[in-house]
Chain A
Amino acid sequence: MRKGTIFKYEIKQLLCSREYLLLLAAVIAYCVLLLRSSVMVGALYTAPFSQWTFCDYLSSVMVLLLALLLVLCARQFTPARRGAMAIIGATPMPAPVFRAIQYGAIACAFGVAATASALVCFGFYALVFDYTAFGGLIASGLLLVLPPALLALGAAMLLGSKKPAFVYALLAAVLIIGVFGVSLPAWIDVIGGSVTQPLYEGVHTFAFTPGFIAGRIAFTMAGITCIVLSVRLPRSNPPGKAKPA
């Protein structure tokens, strides 16, 4: 079977799953709520389409986006899925290639949700404020969202391959950080809430702090390392099944 066909099958399975659709609907509903409240007023009364406000908006949505990503990862470790791996292992396709395709599908499904949240906001800017200069916002958004997403994907797949419960532990950790509004230092701020901190300290020109950028670089590197390791390392067999000779 061609890789493209497998990729299409994987992504269709993810995008059409009830969990994904439910979470995507929740993400979009939350985005709309944010647009009507905090975005419209602007972060500390800056423009609704300022980098500050957009990053504040994305950091608010980030908890739900990361939760969605981790749920997609957790789906890869269900008993049915692990059982199917024995059959997939018997096909000519190398396991690392299949895993890479799986990760690609998860990344695409996550990308759809993240893009949808950004597009909802851009649509709001364009319709309400006739603002269409999205270049700078897209760059800031990518720096804010991609590195923690890479880290979450890598860590979830690496830890999940050892024990699926670890993925749920990661999910619980993300939710605790989000729900309790745990304020993390810029260099480990997965949610991105620290981006607007300088604004409240009197800085009006938007810039990411060096600590935040260093953290994003570290997240990216750690995420890529975890992904490579989880793709290449051999996996334990599903419980109750004998090891192949």
Chain B
Amino acid sequence: MNFLMKLRREIGRLLRERATWLFIAFTVAGAVWFCLNSNGTTATDAYVLTTAKNSAVLGALLFTLLTLIQFHRDYKNNTDTIILTCTDPLGHQLRRTLALLCAAVVTTLLVSLFALPYALIQTGSYFQLSAFAAAWYLVFFGALVLSILLASGLYMLLRRVEAAFIAMMGLITLSVLLESMYALNPSYQLFWVQTNAAAFSDLVNNQILIDLIVYNRLFCVPAAAAVWLLGLCCQRRYGRGIAGSFRGNARRIWPPALLAAVIICAALSYACEPLFDNSVAMDYGIDYESGTGMIMIVSSDEEEEDMAVTLTGKTVDLSVDTQRRTAAGTAVYTLQNTSGEPQDLTLTMNSGYTIQSASVNGRAVQATRDREEVSGSATWHIALPADETIRLSLSYGGRIQNDGSLSQTPVYGISDGYLWLPPDGVSPNAEVPVAEDCDFSARLTLDESLIPDFADANTQTVDTGDGKTTWVIKGTGYAGTGVIAAEYRTKTFQAGGLTVQLKYFAKQTAEIESMDAVNVIQAALDYFTDTYGALPYDNALTILELPASFSGGFAAGNTSAMDETCFAAAGYLPGEGSTPDEGSGIDTIVHELAHQWWGLATYPLSDDASWWSAEGITCYSTYCFMKEYFGEAYANAHFTDVWQDGWETYQNAFYVQHPEYLSKLSDDDASRVMAALHSIGLYDIMPLQLLEAEEAAGGQETFQSKLADLYQYNLCYYITYEDFLFMTELTEEALNIA
């Protein structure tokens, strides 16, 4: 009887067993239950990804049990000696593992019979086959395969069912617990059961997140196969121990050769994953992060700029290939070297790119790369001659990488239908002062369907054809810009004296038409303009929709961006309100719009002595608009009550009442503890203090007019807490809420 016939019989035997079908039934029932009781930020997230991830954990548990039962049965029934004497033991274990993998295939197909139509019905026109396949066939089926390989490998290695079971439970638990271990920032490749992919978008291609799953599986499968092959090589023979059995089994060359091959594969896969670089964690000094708003970073180390070389012009030509997921381009820099001596030019560029060639004033030069990567960027050096005017040409390209020292969820990347390139992913950034009259121009060639958005830049299309469109950006006084591009539709309207462009994903056209979001945005911009004054933009204000995986929003240049959940359609997700304004989505949109006044047009500067920052005044401004637009009850429920709860939590916080205990902690621990309380101060306490200020100033109208003076007087400048107190004619005591 050949191997295939034996395999067919083994599969038949396994699938005729009631216990096998019991485990399959439990796994399928669990998956159905998770489908029916799912939750998430988008429909695809709730009805596809989260469901598959939860089912993967359950499936891994159950298939571990099934595998151990199958492998332990011969030993338990004392039939192993008989079976292994009349058949090749390695072939026998291989067939048993393959039969279990067939059971996993059957389970996945049965789950798909429910999950596919259910996802189709629930997600409707937002259904993405690639997202479904990644969730159920890479995450769920992958977890079953990995649990079979690991459980059988550990059983063959340890020859103890309890020990193998405990080890497997430990590995499954570890995979789940890793999700909450933010401080350790574990690699995404270690989440072997459920992966760390989250918040699949309904509206854009999820290829960047799917990559995360693919590269996770590309490491996990060979790693699990290595454990299985190690177990196979250690399959006990002739009553020998592990080492003796390994030597005996190694007489056939294929098991140890295959073991070595999969170990090399796993190691290469781990080391060469292309999504994240090896950036070292950076000391940001004071770093205030907003959950929904902007991030303010005040560097603790002032970098000394080399004044000898100045950038006076830069031209970039970048072409993005969404099929190969790469970008390639050329950049020409015009530099003024006033030192009269040769200089070392430092360039920072995304870690995933390489400089293919460089020339200075027509002569080829060598570009050398530092080993260390920081904040997702690699540093390159080019030797400049003593010439006064230097023309540097670079040819570069590669695949975008993300900062590996931050969260293991990719933000930047290129996919078919969506891309986000940071400024140093568009062109290398020369670390020299930029002249005020520096001419910057960039040509960006994209797929025809993609519409780019550049923060603070005028854009025009110059050429369309061959399925590609070339976009041109021109500006003065800066030398780079990032780009976000997707299949955007634009709704243009007038608000606050500006032309506002709401750029939303094409798939959401019908929902945007039927939602109140446009009216709210228009009303908010009018309100803020009437109350505080006009924004200092000549060009249009852009409101940009981002994929759900961004989780929140940001404001930069003349762009306010927020993720797609802010525009969630009415009653769409489980547990959501029946209108958009019942959720927090519209609050986030207005919050990000308010940042245009507080944070971009002016820069409220935080200090160590107060909670003053852009966040507090932005929250207060949002509250004022919401009170006028939706009424006092809405504003109280969504803002003042939340602030009050935060204030009470802060007051009762142990380390606030007993600050002497902070000194008992190490500096890092004390900083971590206070960081949690710091956000309460920024987002809850400061807005409450501004309510006190409002009362002290004689009412909302009077206070708002003083804020308008503050805004107009400090337009394009920093606003300190002292500036605020001076302009509003208030004292710190007046803002005391204790």
A: residues with CB less than 8 A from B are 18-19, 22-23, 26, 30, 33, 36-37, 40-42, 44-48, 50, 67, 71, 74-75, 78-79, 128-130, 168, 171-172, 175-176, 178-180, 204
A-B contact pairs, 27 of them (CB 8 A): A19-B162, A19-B163, A19-B166, A22-B163, A22-B166, A23-B166, A26-B170, A30-B177, A36-B669, A40-B673, A41-B672, A41-B673, A42-B653, A42-B655, A45-B649, A45-B650, A45-B677, A46-B652, A50-B654, A67-B169, A71-B166, A128-B665, A130-B664, A168-B65, A175-B172, A175-B173, A176-B61
Q: Are A175 and B61 CB-contacts (below 8 A) given A19-B166, A26-B170, A74-B162?
A: yes
Sort A-B residue pairs by CB-CB distance and give the 10 closest, nearest first.
A45-B653, A47-B654, A179-B176, A42-B654, A19-B166, A41-B673, A128-B664, A46-B654, A19-B162, A129-B664
- Among A30, A41, A67, A175, the one with the most B-chain Cβ atoms within 10 Å of its Cβ is A41
Q: Hey, which chain A residues are within 8 Å of B170, CB to CB?
A: 22, 26
Q: B642-676, CB under 8 A of A: which get 1 and which 0?
A: 00000001101111101001001100010011001
Q: Are A40 and B166 CB-contacts (below 8 A) given A33-B181, A47-B654, A172-B65?
A: no
Report B75 CB to chain A, min CB distance, Å.
Answer: 9
Report B305 CB to chain A, min CB distance, Å.
Answer: 39
Q: Are A180 and B54 CB-contacts (below 8 A) given A45-B649, A175-B173?
A: yes
Q: B183 at interface (Cβ–Cβ under 8 A)?
A: yes
Q: B175-198, CB under 8 A of A: which get 1 and which 0?
A: 011000101000000000000000
Q: Hey, which chain B residues are within 8 Å of A33, CB to CB?
A: 181
Contact, CB under 8 Å: A175 / B649: no
Q: Hey, which chain A residues are within 8 Å of B54, CB to CB?
A: 180
Report B65 CB to chain A, min CB distance, Å.
Answer: 7
Report A210 CB to chain B, min CB distance, Å.
Answer: 24
Q: B708 at interface (Cβ–Cβ under 8 A)?
A: no
Q: Hey, which chain A residues are within 8 Å of B172, CB to CB?
A: 175, 179
Q: B137 at interface (Cβ–Cβ under 8 A)?
A: no
Q: Hey, which chain A residues are within 8 Å of B664, CB to CB?
A: 128-130
Q: Hey, which chain B residues are within 8 Å of A36, CB to CB?
A: 183, 669
| Residues 38-91 (chain B) with a chain A CB within 8 angstroms | 54, 57-58, 61, 65, 76
Q: Are A45 and B166 CB-contacts (below 8 A) given A40-B669, A175-B173, A176-B61?
A: no
Q: B550 at interface (Cβ–Cβ under 8 A)?
A: no
Q: B126 at interface (Cβ–Cβ under 8 A)?
A: no
Q: B718 at interface (Cβ–Cβ under 8 A)?
A: no
Report A14 CB to chain B, min CB distance, Å.
Answer: 13
Q: Hey, which chain A residues are within 8 Å of B166, CB to CB?
A: 19, 22-23, 71
Q: Hey, which chain B residues are within 8 Å of A171, CB to CB?
A: 169
Contact, CB under 8 Å: A45 / B173: no
Taken together as a complex, chains A and B put the C-alpha atoms of A40 and B65 apart, in Å, by 37
Q: Given A33-B181, A45-B649, 15 other A-B contacts at CB below 8 A?
A: A22-B163, A36-B183, A37-B183, A41-B676, A45-B655, A45-B677, A71-B166, A78-B162, A128-B665, A129-B661, A129-B664, A168-B165, A175-B173, A179-B57, A204-B652
Main secondary structure of the interface of B (DSSP, over half): helix
The size class of the interface chain B forms with chain A is: 35 or more
Taken together as a complex, chains A and B put the C-alpha atoms of A47 and B653 apart, in Å, by 8
Taken together as a complex, chains A and B put the C-alpha atoms of A47 and B665 apart, in Å, by 13
Contact, CB under 8 Å: B61 / A172: yes
Taken together as a complex, chains A and B put the C-alpha atoms of A168 and B664 apart, in Å, by 44
| Residues 137-193 (chain B) with a chain A CB within 8 angstroms | 162-163, 165-167, 169-170, 172-173, 176-177, 181, 183
Report A164 CB to chain B, min CB distance, Å.
Answer: 10
Contact, CB under 8 Å: A180 / B57: yes
Taken together as a complex, chains A and B put the C-alpha atoms of A143 and B547 apart, in Å, by 47
Q: Hey, which chain A residues are within 8 Å of B654, CB to CB?
A: 42, 45-48, 50
Contact, CB under 8 Å: A71 / B162: yes
Contact, CB under 8 Å: A176 / B676: no
Taken together as a complex, chains A and B put the C-alpha atoms of A41 and B649 apart, in Å, by 13
Taken together as a complex, chains A and B put the C-alpha atoms of A160 and B591 apart, in Å, by 59
Taken together as a complex, chains A and B put the C-alpha atoms of A179 and B178 apart, in Å, by 11
Q: Hey, which chain B residues are within 8 Å of A168, CB to CB?
A: 65, 165
Taken together as a complex, chains A and B put the C-alpha atoms of A191 and B108 apart, in Å, by 32
Q: Hey, which chain B residues are within 8 Å of A46, CB to CB?
A: 652-654
Report B648 CB to chain A, min CB distance, Å.
Answer: 8
Q: Hey, which chain A residues are within 8 Å of B676, CB to CB?
A: 41, 45
B169 in complex: contacting residue of A42, A44, A130, A175, CB < 8 Å:
A175
Contact, CB under 8 Å: A18 / B163: yes
Q: Hey, which chain A residues are within 8 Å of B650, CB to CB?
A: 45
Contact, CB under 8 Å: A45 / B65: no
Taken together as a complex, chains A and B put the C-alpha atoms of A139 and B177 apart, in Å, by 29
Taken together as a complex, chains A and B put the C-alpha atoms of A78 and B75 apart, in Å, by 12
Taken together as a complex, chains A and B put the C-alpha atoms of A18 and B247 apart, in Å, by 25
Contact, CB under 8 Å: B183 / A79: no
Taken together as a complex, chains A and B put the C-alpha atoms of A168 and B164 apart, in Å, by 13
Q: Hey, which chain A residues are within 8 Å of B163, CB to CB?
A: 18-19, 22
Taken together as a complex, chains A and B put the C-alpha atoms of A18 and B158 apart, in Å, by 11
Q: Hey, which chain B residues are within 8 Å of A180, CB to CB?
A: 54, 57
Report B684 CB to chain A, min CB distance, Å.
Answer: 13
Q: Hey, which chain A residues are within 8 Å of B76, CB to CB?
A: 79
Q: Hey, which chain A residues are within 8 Å of B169, CB to CB?
A: 67, 171, 175
Q: Hey, which chain A residues are within 8 Å of B173, CB to CB?
A: 175, 178-179
Taken together as a complex, chains A and B put the C-alpha atoms of A158 and B630 apart, in Å, by 61
> Which residue from chain B places its CB closest to the CB of A174 in the assembled complex?
B169
Q: Hey, which chain A residues are within 8 Å of B655, CB to CB?
A: 42, 45
> Which residue from chain A places its CB closest to the CB of B650 in the assembled complex?
A45
Taken together as a complex, chains A and B put the C-alpha atoms of A180 and B65 apart, in Å, by 18
Report A245 CB to chain B, min CB distance, Å.
Answer: 25
Q: Hey, which chain A residues are within 8 Å of B176, CB to CB?
A: 179
Report A108 CB to chain B, min CB distance, Å.
Answer: 20
Taken together as a complex, chains A and B put the C-alpha atoms of A45 and B167 apart, in Å, by 35
Report A13 CB to chain B, min CB distance, Å.
Answer: 14
- Among B656, B661, B665, the one with the most A-chain Cβ atoms within 10 Å of its Cβ is B661
Q: Hey, which chain B residues are within 8 Å of A176, CB to CB?
A: 58, 61
Q: Hey, which chain B residues are within 8 Å of A45, CB to CB?
A: 649-650, 652-656, 676-677
Taken together as a complex, chains A and B put the C-alpha atoms of A175 and B664 apart, in Å, by 36
Q: Hey, which chain A residues are within 8 Å of B661, CB to CB?
A: 47, 129
> Which residue from chain B places its CB closest to the CB of A49 in the assembled complex?
B654
| Residues 356-389 (chain B) with a chain A CB within 8 angstroms | none
Taken together as a complex, chains A and B put the C-alpha atoms of A71 and B162 apart, in Å, by 8
> Which residue from chain A places its CB closest to the CB of B69 in the assembled complex?
A165
Report A35 CB to chain B, min CB distance, Å.
Answer: 11
Taken together as a complex, chains A and B put the C-alpha atoms of A131 and B162 apart, in Å, by 40
Q: B263-283, CB under 8 A of A: which get 1 and which 0?
A: 000000000000000000000
Q: Hey, which chain B residues are within 8 Å of A42, CB to CB?
A: 653-655
Report B701 CB to chain A, min CB distance, Å.
Answer: 34
| Residues 86-130 (chain B) with a chain A CB within 8 angstroms | none
Taken together as a complex, chains A and B put the C-alpha atoms of A36 and B57 apart, in Å, by 27
Q: Hey, which chain B residues are within 8 Å of A48, CB to CB?
A: 654
> Which residue from chain A places its CB closest to the CB of B680 in the assembled complex?
A45
> Which residue from chain A places its CB closest to the CB of B673 in the assembled complex?
A41
| Residues 547-579 (chain B) with a chain A CB within 8 angstroms | none
> Which residue from chain B places its CB closest to the CB of A79 in the assembled complex?
B76
Q: Hey, which chain A residues are within 8 Å of B65, CB to CB?
A: 168, 172
Taken together as a complex, chains A and B put the C-alpha atoms of A22 and B177 apart, in Å, by 18
Q: Hey, which chain B residues are within 8 Å of A178, CB to CB?
A: 173
- Among B165, B169, B655, B661, the one with the most A-chain Cβ atoms within 10 Å of its Cβ is B169
Q: Hey, which chain A residues are within 8 Å of B649, CB to CB?
A: 44-45
Q: Hey, which chain A residues are within 8 Å of B653, CB to CB?
A: 42, 45-46
Taken together as a complex, chains A and B put the C-alpha atoms of A42 and B673 apart, in Å, by 9
Taken together as a complex, chains A and B put the C-alpha atoms of A172 and B183 apart, in Å, by 29
Taken together as a complex, chains A and B put the C-alpha atoms of A33 and B180 apart, in Å, by 11
> Which residue from chain B places its CB closest to the CB of A43 in the assembled complex?
B654
Q: Hey, which chain A residues are within 8 Å of B183, CB to CB?
A: 36-37
Taken together as a complex, chains A and B put the C-alpha atoms of A40 and B661 apart, in Å, by 11
Contact, CB under 8 Å: A75 / B57: no
Q: Hey, which chain A residues are within 8 Å of B673, CB to CB?
A: 40-41
Taken together as a complex, chains A and B put the C-alpha atoms of A4 and B465 apart, in Å, by 90
Taken together as a complex, chains A and B put the C-alpha atoms of A204 and B649 apart, in Å, by 10
